[in-house]
């Protein structure tokens, strides 16, 4: 078992989906996660700026806001930790926009389970950090 827990921030506005992701993480054998949860875009901006997490899992729909804008803002503010877009929307254009914004992976909620979530997280953590966007 890996000794240091992976620090994960879930940005999700639906409490039921939070519970589902939490349960998936609990069922990943040999891994320990230290998960925090925020449910709004403004809360997420504050938490990401603290740079306390190894990885961010971000829902696409965040009330009136969206996860792509959040990823773009996090990158603009210098976030280099990997971010995974988690969504109900099976849309190639949305996936392309998420990856262009800086998402390391794109995972559909209907396909999310302990195995797929673990795979996405480990793959994202093994990628080299993306460069922060240049500021003008």
Q: Which residue range is the domain that position 47 belongs to?
A: 6-124
Q: Is residue 136 part of a domain?
A: no
Using a 10 angstrom Cβ sphere, with 0-12 exposed, 13-18 middle and 19 or more buried, the burial of residue 57 is: buried
Q: Is residue 114 part of a domain?
A: yes
Q: Is residue 132 part of a domain?
A: no
CATH code of the domain containing 20: 3.40.50.2300
Q: Is residue 31 part of a domain?
A: yes
Q: What would the pLDDT profile of 3-59 be if each residue is shown by its tens digit?
A: 799 999 999 999 999 999 999 999 999 999 999 999 999 999 999 999 999 999 999
Tokens of 102: 């800086």
pTM over 0.95: no
């Amino acid at each position: 078992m890996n000794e240091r827990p992976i620090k994960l921030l879930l940005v999700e506005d639906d409490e039921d989906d939070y519970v589902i992701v939490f349960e998936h993480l609990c069922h990943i054998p040999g891994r320990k996660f230290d998960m925090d949860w925020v449910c709004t875009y403004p809360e997420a901006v504050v938490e990401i700026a603290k740079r306390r997490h190894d990885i961010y899992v971000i829902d696409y729909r965040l009330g009136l806001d969206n996860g792509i804008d959040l990823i773009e803002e996090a990158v603009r503010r210098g976030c280099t930790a990997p971010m995974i877009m988690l969504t109900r929307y099976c849309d190639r254009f949305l996936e392309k926009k998420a990856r262009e914004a800086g998402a390391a992976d794109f995972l559909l909620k209907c396909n999310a389970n302990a195995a797929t979530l673990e795979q996405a997280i480990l793959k994202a953590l093994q990628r080299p950090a993306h460069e922060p966007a240049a500021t003008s």
